[in-house]
Homo-oligomer: A and B are copies of this chain.
Amino acid sequence: MAETRNDSRGDIRSDARAGARTVIERYWSTAQDRDWSAFGALLAPDVVYEIPQTRERVRGREAYVRFNAEYPGDWRVTVERIVAEERRGVSWTSFTAEGGTETGLSFFTLGDDGLIESVVDFWPEPYEPPAGREHLVERY
């Protein structure tokens, strides 16, 4: 996996061959910083964002930046894990706000220019374990 290079220009073009890990790290750091200009510079103009659990879809860079910028609450995001290939990656993040901490799982696809073309987000919620497997399982 390529690392971020020390490039005095520091713009998205210098990340075009940096691989998905670098882009995903920057995606979350710019979101945390509410730096929506830098966040938007990571996105392809026709980026598509989907949440399969709600069957919601957002199309295009402008709408997707607004979707994030308008997201309510004073949330903080922590990256727990990134697994990345050259053009695809997954992040496991924790979102903390007034209501507590939620887990976000995001699948990214990048184009050959290094811009994010697709994000698919999952938000798994706690649930009660089914009965019948207590003999194999501990709770933590």
Contact = CB atoms under 8 A, between A and B. Distances in A.
Nearest to A60: B136
A2 interface: no
B138 A57 contact: yes
Interface residues of A, number: 43
A95 interface: no
A139 B46 CA distance: 17
Contact of A84 (B83, B105, B132): B83
Interface in A38-54: 50-54
- Which of A59, A72, A83, A85 has most B Cβ within 10 Å? A83
A128 to B, nearest CB: 7
B136 A67 contact: yes
Contacts of A127: 53-54, 123, 125
A56 B66 CA distance: 37
A107 interface: yes
Nearest to A65: B136
A125 B122 CA distance: 9
A127 B64 CA distance: 20
Given A54-B128, A57-B137, A123-B127, 4 more contacts: A55-B140, A83-B83, A90-B90, A124-B124
